[in-house]
Chains A and B, each alone.
Chain A
Amino acid sequence: MIRFSLSGLKPSTLFRVRGGVHPETRKFLSAGSAIEAMALPALIRVPLQQHIGAPAEPLVKQGDLVLKGQLIGRARGPVSANLHAPTSGKVIAVGHFPAPHPSGLPVPTITLRPDGEDRWGPRLPRLRPEDAAPEEIAARVAEAGIVGMGGATFPAAVKLNLRGKYPLHTLILNAAECEPYLTCDDRLLREHAEEVADGAGIMARALGVARIIVVVESNKPEAASAMRRHNLGMGYPIEVKVVPTQYPMGSEKHMVKAVTGQETPARALTAELGIVVHNAATAHAVHLAVRYGEPLISRVVTVSGRGIARPANVRALIGTPVADLIAHCGGLSGEPEKLLLGGPMMGQPIANLRVPIVKGTNGVLALSPSETHRSAAMPCIRCGSCVQACPCGLTPFELNARIQADDLEGAAEVGLLDCVSCGCCSFICPSNIALVQGFNFAKGRLAEKQARKHQQEETKRLAAARSAREEALAEAKRAAMAKRKAEMAAKKAREAAEAAAQPDGEVVK
């Protein structure tokens, strides 16, 4: 039902993507306000896991004094990220604190009390990317703890190291920002286009690609024109492509399809097509890390929604409590119906204002009831809106029916695992069915089942190893016993023989 056609846009440069929805973007709430700095918060909480992969290993303990930019958590394993102190101060706790996550479960967190001086420690040595080897650039990005800042938080260095594995040719810089309300990438491009372009150039060099495409949605003309003015990053030409405003244009694989016409196979990486997608904010962070040796300790966050007194874009330190950000923006106006980290389509609801923002937090939204259009849920009327809207070509109503009937395997058969949880189906559903929550539940349950099965096998292996070991021990014991017995018997026999031999000695002779 909801389809977009590309007529009217530049022909031959864009390709059709199936499905999608056109929610009200409401970006005007914050799009006009320039990125502003904010005062140091009273406390900073840095969770050890702000990225996909293994949590970082804490390098500080309670009572330690740290300087701004000091390494306080070291990446553990190949997919992990470093953590740095966002400001100077004292570590007052290394323990558990509720995560910026809907579950509110406690996670290992380093709590800092800023000393107010914001004193820099030694920065990373400067690197001239023009002369640096690609490996050096990737290593620097890893050192700076940079992760994908669009929300996926995949360690950026891992993606920069794909050079040898796949024949790469294009870097796509994702500045589509298709989530409603969010304007942080828009403002970043408008105000720091040159730095973003340079960061993109640095990444292109690390990846060994010659083509850079910046993708901007059509509702951000200023950002697009700013990028067009700075269309060279480290000498690499930068193409700016304006795509139609349509959710979920910012989804990596859909963006690749819209821009290049190539469809990434299921369960494959875009890198297998030779294309790597990075977020625009990540490019900015790479620029800061490589040119100035600044690790990732702050980011631009959009604080918006009609529940916020003064919506704004704020450059906030990682670990700033949500309450401080909201207070900086004039506080809440009335009781919000939803408090979110991220955008309204895929953001995470939180129930605790003291949780910190992390590297992947691009928005803090307080939505009033007038914005959410919530109405009572009804049974499915098979209208097919979800099927038309699904950008992945799934049949959400059918998945939901199977999940409700506890047939999770059946749901997986009709494509549950190809769902990206973009939320188009739930958004459009006239019956207001919580489709995405059902899919998230089913995916979690299936993963848990998988893990349990794995554990069962592991248990079996352990038990088998144990019984084998015990058997071997018993065998060894038996062997030792037998040996001793044999020795004893032999000895006895010898003695007996000797005893017998003595009187008959003459005979033998």
Chain B
Amino acid sequence: MITAAASMSALGLGLGLLLGAAARKFHVETPPIVDELEALLPGTNCGQCGFAGCRGAAEAVAEGTAPVTLCPPGGRDVALQLAEVTGSDCGCGAAGGADLSGMAEAEPMIAFIFEDHCTGCTKCFKRCPTDAIVGAAKQIHTVIWDACIGCDACVEVCPTEAILLRRKPRTLQGWYWEKPAQPFATRGTEAVS
């Protein structure tokens, strides 16, 4: 009885020590995911997330203090990618979940300048993170659609409220057919493929 207990304890102690030693010896620093997250973010430091630049946002996401849905210009795609890197502990589930469903609706936005109100103050032009606004002092400014990410930075600084975010207009080139409704789709089943 005593020998059995003693041998079991010794065995447990020995194996426990071995495990502990192995954990120390083979300890691997968890790779910092901040860099990885930062690479996924737009990198424009537009500040819409409330953090100091994309680096700050990436750090917050890595710590778990910010949701993966924090980046409005990145939209659903970036949120999904962030969720993938941080894993499913972000509270949004692998497939997107409830948190992302709101983002799916968010369409790409774009800045419009009301030319009547524009005074040519160049504030927006200086603030734009992607140089999407062109213009000169005392001249009406214009937005280059292809470069605009709809980050809201220019709207904030405009003294005459001449800038507005609008939904990006749909063009023939970007148009495609809607997904057809599946007839009598059964829940969660599909043809064996």
Please list the residues of chain A having a beta carbon within 8 angstroms of any beta carbon in chain B. Answer: 49, 99, 101-103, 105, 107, 376-380, 382, 397-398, 400-405, 431-434, 437-438, 440-445, 447-449, 451-452, 455-456, 458-460, 462-467
Docked CA distance A8–B153 (Å) = 72
Q: Which of B132, B191, B192 has the most chain A CB within a 10 Å cutoff?
A: B191
Q: CB-CB contacts of B119-150 with A at 8 A, as 1s and 0s?
A: 00000000001111000000000000011010
Interface of A is mostly: helix
Q: Are A105 and B170 in touch, CB under 8 angstroms?
A: yes
Residue contact B183 to A397, C-beta cutoff 8 Å = no
What is the bound-complex CA distance between A419 and B85, given in angstroms? 33
Q: Could you say which residues of chain B place their CB within 8 Å of the CB of A447? A: 176
Interface size on B, residues (CB 8 A): 34
Residues on A with beta carbons closer than 8 Å to the beta carbon of B147:
458-459, 462
Whether the Cβ atoms of B184 and A444 lie closer than 8 Å is no
**Pairs across A and B, CB under 8 Å, 21 listed:** A103-B170, A378-B184, A379-B183, A379-B184, A397-B191, A398-B193, A402-B193, A404-B179, A404-B182, A433-B180, A433-B183, A434-B180, A437-B177, A441-B178, A441-B179, A448-B174, A455-B146, A459-B43, A460-B43, A463-B43, A464-B43
Residues of B near any A CB (own CB < 8 A)? 42-45, 73-74, 77, 108, 129-132, 146-147, 149, 170-172, 174-180, 182-186, 190-193
CB distance from B60 to the nearest CB of A (A): 19
- Rounded to whole angstroms, the CA-CA distance of A456 and B41 in the bound complex is 9
Task: Report which of A377, A401, A456, A466 forms a contact with B190, defined as CB distance below 8 A.
Answer: A401
A250 to nearest B CB, angstroms? 22
Give the secondary structure class of B's interface. loop
Chain B residue with the shortest CB-CB distance to A464: B43
Contact B77 A376 (CB under 8 A): no
Given contacts A103-B172, A462-B131, contact A449 B177 (CB under 8 A): no
Residue among B108, B170, B175 facing the most chain A CB atoms (10 A cut-off): B175
Cβ-defined contact, A444 with B42, below 8 A: no
Instruction: Determine if B176 and A445 form an interchain contact, defined as CB atoms under 8 angstroms apart.
Output: yes
Partner of B177, one of A99, A107, A441: A441
Query: Is A441's CB under 8 angstroms from B175's CB?
Result: no
Indicate whether A444 sits within 8 Å of B176 (C-beta atoms), given known contacts A380-B191, A404-B190: yes
The chain B residue with its CB closest to the CB of A377 is: B183
Tell whether A448 pairs with B176 under 8 Å between CB atoms, given A377-B183, A463-B44, A465-B131: yes
Residue from the set A434, A462, A467 with the largest chain B CB neighbour count within 10 Å = A462
Known pairs A397-B191, A398-B193 / 7 extra A-B pairs, C-beta < 8 Å: A433-B183, A434-B180, A437-B178, A459-B130, A460-B43, A463-B42, A467-B45
Whether the Cβ atoms of A401 and B172 lie closer than 8 Å is no
Interface-central residue, B146, B180, B184, by most chain A CB under 10 Å: B180
